[in-house]
Amino acid sequence: MAITSDGAQAFGIEVSPVTINAVTYVCEDMSYDYPGSRVDVNDSNGEPLGSTTIPERVEVSGTLQLATTGTAVPTIGQEMVLTGRNAATFILTSCGEASTAGDYAKVSISGYKKLN
């Protein structure tokens, strides 16, 4: 039985599809991490006066579905533009090897949010 897509959203994923280096991919899943660091301010005796949290770079990881087994696998350093709630440009820092099952192929990626 063939799967039929109906509507603008591929598989109901908000950021899908994405384009990397003029190649279109479907997002199977994406997760975002919003890390931060706590900085303590101490007096001259080392007693705590207060703390603050400093946000760090937003990181993304997920799995991209390739259109065919011959679709180019993204490479480190390429930019991935996402839309929706996490609209931003991300720089890829890790790209796995494509895994296939018949005509279906996918690849794991991770990256960080571009500042400018």
Which pTM does this prediction carry?
Answer: 0.72
Q: What is the CATH number of the domain that holds 95?
A: 2.40.30
Does residue 56 belong to any structural domain of this protein? yes
**Three-state helix/strand/coil letters over the chain:** CCCCCCCCCHHHCCCCCEEECCEEEEEEEEEEECCEEEEEEECCCCCEEEEEEEECCCEEEEEEEECCCCCCCCCCCCEEEECHHHCEEEEEEEECCCEEECCEEEEEEEEEECCC
Number of structural domains, the chain? 1
Please report whether residue 2 resides in a domain: no
Q: Is the pLDDT of residue 1 over 50?
A: no
- Asked whether residue 1 is domain-assigned, the answer is no
Q: Could you tell me if residue 34 is inside a domain?
A: yes
Pick 65 or 6 by higher pLDDT: 65
pLDDT, tens only, 33-72: 999 999 999 999 999 899 999 999 999 999 998 877 778 8
Per-residue pLDDT reduced to its tens digit, 59-111: 999 999 887 777 888 999 999 988 777 788 999 999 999 888 777 788 999 99
Average pLDDT, the chain: 83
Looking at the domain assignment, is residue 83 inside a domain?
yes
Q: Residue 28's domain spans which residues? A: 10-113
